[in-house]
Amino acid sequence: MLTKFKKRFQSWMVAEARLARRAGLTPNQVSAVGILLALASGISYWMSGADLHIGDSELLLVLGSIFLLASGFCDALDGALARLHGEVTVLGGFLDSLLDRYADAAIYSGLILGGLCDLSWGLVALVGSLLVSYTRARAEAAGVPMETVGLVERAERLLIIAAASFLNLLWAESLRWSVAALAVLTNLTVAQRVAYFRSKAASQERDTS
């Protein structure tokens, strides 16, 4: 859904990419920072559920959401920087997608291990998130564009988790229910993409027959 605003957002990222370029940063370096921030987010979520003083738990929860948003920013910046450098490559896109999956796994694992969501819902949300990306990769490998198809792409998922993290400071069940909602919505998105691919594949077969 939010991918529909991607072009506008990318234009905003051009200025940040130019600043990063002046600072001597490369797309690979930004990607590396992004995955480290995602790992820091997962660890913060995990530790926030540990037996610490309540103030420490709240601080770690805020840090987890800040690291999460910063990781998402880096994910957008590395692509903008690659385009600015003229270094958009097939290998770069492959590695970027791979690191995004590791980042998603780290974040959900932190939420699960920290007890911030139910184990079953957390695992279903993690699997659904990975399959959302997998269905896009397989569809586009078969020549069917999948961008903007589905309710919750990666940007939506990150924003939902970050918003729920802040809201969790006021309502302790916010993250738990948000992850449960993501478990449903991610798998619904997979179903939407399967249906969309089936329709497009059938149309292509009719055109070639």
Residue numbers annotated as active site: 100
Q: What is the H or E stretch that residue 51 is in?
A: none
Specify the amino acid at residue 66. I
Rounded CA separation 207/133 (Å): 28
Number of neighbours of residue 8 by Cβ within 10 angstroms: 9
Q: Do the beta carbons of residue 68 and residue 35 sit within 8 Å?
A: no
Residue 128 CB-half CA count within 13 A? 25
The closest alpha carbon to 30, from 99, 90, 94, 91, belongs to: 99
Helix, strand and coil content of the chain, in percent to the nearest 5, comes to 80, 0, 20
Cα distance between residue 79 and residue 136, in whole Å: 18
